[in-house]
Structure 1
């Protein structure tokens, strides 16, 4: 992503604003919220909301009180309360929208989770913060080596230093419970800092690291999706998708979150269809559902023993037969209700130049008739004559 005032350099960092992902408009950041109330002034006698939203590494956000009534705006670097010491983050939202976000995420203003802002970060705070951030990549490589040596079945995906450099949080994923007591001792001895281990799910790991999905766009979880709802294979079955794990799985190895996006629409459409396991009883035989097309609103049935011959029925016709069976009325056959399919002749599409583009063969030199005549004359001259 990038805001309108910066472009992307060779290393993927914004080069226009020179802030390495922290623009004044906050457009280069992940999970950013557009402040559509920024241009509106508060009514007379109404004080501004005294909480702000602060972003830390990889889109992690928290709400903080502003007890000193500091004049804060988006992209300000602030020093916040932490345990122990202080942390350094970037203000991403101020004003009444913070109240809306806190209500949406069910965070109360007087909750213990809402800490306070100490001050705007000084140059010394920023220098210590950047120095600690520069250590993270090297520490991650060394931490993985130690975990492999201790034969622990876990993956250390990311490390986040606190703003004052007094604590490092190790984010890891694991299939089973991990006993990392010895690991913490070695980490404390190796890195000489306070260590905190935090286990995250595979979806949270993908959200923190980011990436490109099979659709060609950035991952939903790292750009706008904030809540991770459970996804199961029934969502794929309702949408008539092939149960191929390689296509249904995302970057995290779990089922794609986008399988839930259109699920409600499919469930509403399936209300007009009879259940696929319901059999149709006719005098000719018992018919079983073979296939369903939600978009066209049709179903295909086949008689038991005649599995190669399918009969196409609309959802209304199939429901009518089901109601007749419930009323113990037996119809003659499916052919009476079958939808006649008209076979359309495949016609060649005549493509025309509607956008004014030049022909792709404009540089090819057409062969003239004179060239062909010359070749024929050369062949005739080369042949020996039979008269002699």
Structure 2
């Protein structure tokens, strides 16, 4: 129940982070919500909200009603009501913010049919629950072997045991509808537990399993992203990204959710920007747009007969030329406008500076020591030099 930095303490509760029960590194909880009302007291006469948010394995969260007014705080391990038996989960949010989360997930805070909280989990409950969690990987492997033997076109991605060990939920992904009736019979016979099959999408699979994205950070869907909006290739086109599916796809095989993060900024910038399919009529011929730089507000054009020579124009210059073309006026050439602008074909000489000072890379090497000559060799050399010198006339 804990990451490497906060580990676990008594009764399976996380210790060490001291951050209202949530791990400071966000390694032991997924989709955590910061309780910014935890240090504020309620107004006089107002009762605390009697529902809590409970997280189970991975990102599955549900809401439960605290009918017995048990004193709960974030990080407590509790036994909750299930369809049959009980389940074990960890409290992730209490107080008024639970009401906000329920409205966000379109659940009625006044619903009296919400499942109930039985009690705080005892050590016996935690031991049974932990023993079931240890069996999950082995059972998942065996379930995949059974599905392959039955030639079912499905992938079992995760297994979740109920807290009392009486039921196991198998999460799977499939392209088409799968008849898994025989699979349930075989698994119930092999594992001696009740089986529930639940189909999820590829994004939900990545959310449950987690991982590291191409940016080097944990996946957004498994840490903070709660809703999955549709992502299209148009988002990549607006941001002028290469339409390479290997770079644009995430671990789920779908387009990355982060393509939508900056899309609104690009759309606002492109409102008064000429289209990339713009053509300009000049005296030298028709010019086509070759490149667009939204941040510099620059466009590069080239003539049909000279596609290698690009002429840089600003956004205002292009709009001005287009207005003249609408009035059946042609400019003489693009060179008139691009004389003061940069041309792509001309590259400035790159000057590299040494940011650590004008020091040599070998400044830490030991200096080479000169070889010591023998004294006898030095004396012989002196004698030879004296013989070669002419004698001074008195």
TM surpasses 0.5 = yes
1:351 to 2:350 alignment: no
Map 1:1-388 to 2 at 5 A. Answer: 7-8=4-5, 14-15=6-7, 17=9, 22-23=14-15, 25-27=21-23, 28-111=28-111, 114-338=114-338, 339-341=340-342, 344-353=348-357, 361-367=362-368, 370-371=370-371
Deviation at 1:73, TM superposition (A): 1.0
Supply the distance in 2 between the matched residues of 1:359 and 1:49 (Cα, whole angstroms): 68
Deviation at 1:278, TM superposition (A): 2.3
TM-score when scaled to structure 1?
0.86
- Provide the aligned length of Structure 1 versus Structure 2: 365
Alpha carbons 1:22, 1:29 under 8 Å: kept: no
Partner of 1:385: none
Secondary structure of the equivalent of 1:57?
A: coil
TM-score when scaled to structure 2?
0.85
Secondary structure of the equivalent of 2:58?
A: helix
Q: Is 241-250 or 115-124 further displaced after alignment?
A: 115-124
Alpha carbons 2:160, 2:170 under 8 Å: kept: yes
Supply the distance in 2 between the matched residues of 1:15 and 1:186 (Cα, whole angstroms): 38
Alpha carbons 2:7, 2:14 under 8 Å: kept: no
Write the deviation string for residues 34-53 of structure 1: whole angstroms up to 9, x where unpaired: 11111110010111011100
**Cα pair distance change 1:271/1:70, threshold 3 Å:** same
**Cα pair distance change 1:315/1:113, threshold 3 Å:** farther
Write the deviation string for residues 158-216 of structure 1: whole angstroms up to 9, x where unpaired: 00011122211000111222111111111111111111111111111111111111111
Supply the distance in 2 between the matched residues of 1:188 and 1:204 (Cα, whole angstroms): 25
Alpha carbons 2:13, 2:75 under 8 Å: kept: no
Provide structure 2 residue ranges, at least 5 long, that are not aligned to the other structure. Answer: 382-394
Deviation at 1:19, TM superposition (A): 7.6
Supply the distance in 1 between the matched residues of 2:115 and 2:92 (Cα, whole angstroms): 16
Supply the distance in 1 between the matched residues of 2:319 and 2:183 (Cα, whole angstroms): 63
Write the deviation string for residues 23-64 of structure 1: whole angstroms up to 9, x where unpaired: 462213111111111111001011101110001000211111
Provide structure 1 residue ranges, at least 5 long, that are not aligned to the other structure. Answer: 9-13, 382-388
Secondary structure of the equivalent of 1:301?
A: strand
Alpha carbons 2:33, 2:93 under 8 Å: kept: yes
Alpha carbons 1:21, 1:29 under 8 Å: kept: no
Secondary structure of the equivalent of 2:138?
A: helix
Secondary structure of the equivalent of 1:115?
A: coil
Alpha carbons 2:11, 2:126 under 8 Å: kept: no
Partner of 2:388: none
Deviation at 1:123, TM superposition (A): 2.8
Secondary structure of the equivalent of 2:165?
A: coil
**Cα pair distance change 1:264/1:127, threshold 3 Å:** same
Supply the distance in 2 between the matched residues of 1:48 and 1:280 (Cα, whole angstroms): 68
**Cα pair distance change 1:92/1:15, threshold 3 Å:** closer
Write the deviation string for residues 146-165 of structure 1: whole angstroms up to 9, x where unpaired: 01111111110100011122
Partner of 1:384: none
Deviation at 1:359, TM superposition (A): 7.9
Supply the distance in 1 between the matched residues of 2:7 and 2:22 (Cα, whole angstroms): 15
Alpha carbons 2:13, 2:77 under 8 Å: kept: no
Write the deviation string for residues 200-235 of structure 1: whole angstroms up to 9, x where unpaired: 111111111111111111111111111111112111
Write the deviation string for residues 286-341 of structure 1: whole angstroms up to 9, x where unpaired: 11111111121101111223212211111111111122222332222222222432
